Protein backbone atom coordinates (compact mmCIF):
# COMPACT_ATOMS: atom_id res chain seq x y z
CA UNK A 1 0.00 0.00 0.00
CA UNK A 2 2.82 2.39 0.91
CA UNK A 3 4.59 1.55 -2.34
CA UNK A 4 1.49 2.54 -4.35
CA UNK A 5 1.45 5.93 -2.60
CA UNK A 6 5.08 6.53 -3.60
CA UNK A 7 4.32 5.60 -7.21
CA UNK A 8 1.30 7.96 -7.23
CA UNK A 9 3.41 10.78 -5.73
CA UNK A 10 6.16 10.21 -8.32
CA UNK A 11 3.64 10.16 -11.15
CA UNK A 12 2.06 13.38 -9.85
CA UNK A 13 5.47 15.05 -9.63
CA UNK A 14 6.32 13.97 -13.18
CA UNK A 15 2.92 15.23 -14.37
CA UNK A 16 3.52 18.62 -12.73
CA UNK A 17 6.99 18.93 -14.31
CA UNK A 18 5.62 18.13 -17.78
CA UNK A 19 2.69 20.51 -17.29
CA UNK A 20 5.07 23.29 -16.19
CA UNK A 21 7.25 22.76 -19.23
CA UNK A 22 4.27 22.80 -21.60
CA UNK A 23 2.82 25.97 -20.09
CA UNK A 24 6.14 27.82 -20.29
CA UNK A 25 6.46 26.77 -23.92
CA UNK A 26 2.96 28.01 -24.77
CA UNK A 27 3.68 31.28 -22.95
CA UNK A 28 6.72 31.76 -25.19
CA UNK A 29 4.58 31.04 -28.27
CA UNK A 30 2.05 33.67 -27.21
CA UNK A 31 4.87 36.21 -26.90
CA UNK A 32 6.09 35.57 -30.46
CA UNK A 33 2.59 35.79 -31.91
CA UNK A 34 1.95 39.10 -30.14
CA UNK A 35 5.20 40.46 -31.58
CA UNK A 36 3.94 39.67 -35.07
CA UNK A 37 1.38 42.48 -35.17
CA UNK A 38 -0.08 42.71 -38.63
CA UNK A 39 -3.44 44.08 -37.54
CA UNK A 40 -5.57 45.60 -40.24
CA UNK A 41 -7.74 48.68 -40.07
CA UNK A 42 -10.70 49.54 -42.27
CA UNK A 43 -10.86 52.66 -44.40
CA UNK A 44 -14.00 54.57 -43.36
CA UNK A 45 -14.51 55.93 -46.86
CA UNK A 46 -14.16 52.87 -49.12
CA UNK A 47 -14.07 49.97 -46.62
CA UNK A 48 -10.68 48.65 -47.76
CA UNK A 49 -8.54 46.93 -45.16
CA UNK A 50 -4.98 48.22 -44.87
CA UNK A 51 -2.14 47.56 -42.40
CA UNK A 52 -2.33 49.95 -39.44
CA UNK A 53 1.18 51.28 -40.10
CA UNK A 54 0.18 52.26 -43.66
CA UNK A 55 -3.17 53.76 -42.73
CA UNK A 56 -3.95 57.48 -42.41
CA UNK A 57 -5.16 57.80 -38.84
CA UNK A 58 -7.11 60.84 -37.74
CA UNK A 59 -8.33 60.48 -34.17
CA UNK A 60 -10.24 57.20 -33.99
CA UNK A 61 -10.83 57.05 -37.75
CA UNK A 62 -8.67 55.19 -40.26
CA UNK A 63 -8.32 55.80 -43.98
CA UNK A 64 -6.37 54.11 -46.79
CA UNK A 65 -5.23 57.42 -48.27
CA UNK A 66 -5.36 61.16 -47.61
CA UNK A 67 -7.89 61.63 -50.43
CA UNK A 68 -10.39 59.37 -48.66
CA UNK A 69 -9.78 61.17 -45.37
CA UNK A 70 -10.59 64.46 -47.11
CA UNK A 71 -13.66 62.97 -48.83
CA UNK A 72 -14.98 61.59 -45.56
CA UNK A 73 -14.32 64.86 -43.72
CA UNK A 74 -16.20 66.78 -46.44
CA UNK A 75 -19.21 64.47 -46.41
CA UNK A 76 -19.42 64.40 -42.61
CA UNK A 77 -18.62 68.01 -41.67
CA UNK A 78 -21.65 70.18 -41.08
CA UNK A 79 -19.66 73.32 -41.61
CA UNK A 80 -19.70 74.44 -45.24
Q: Shortest gap between Cβ of 69 and Zn ion (angstroms)? A: 8
| Interface contacts to Zn ion, rule CB under 5 A | 43, 45-46, 64, 68
Q: Shortest gap between Cβ of 56 and Zn ion (angstroms)? A: 9
Q: How far apart are CA 23 and CA 26, in angstroms?
A: 5
Q: Quick one: 41 or 43, whose CB is closer to Zn ion?
A: 43
Q: Are 14 and 20 in contact (CB under 8 A)?
A: no
Q: Quick one: 10 or 51, whose CB is closer to Zn ion?
A: 51
Smallest CA-to-CA distance from 48 within 69, 74, 75, 33 is with: 69
Amino acid sequence: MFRILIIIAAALLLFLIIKNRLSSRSRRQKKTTSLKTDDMVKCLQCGTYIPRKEAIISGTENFCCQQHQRDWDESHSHRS
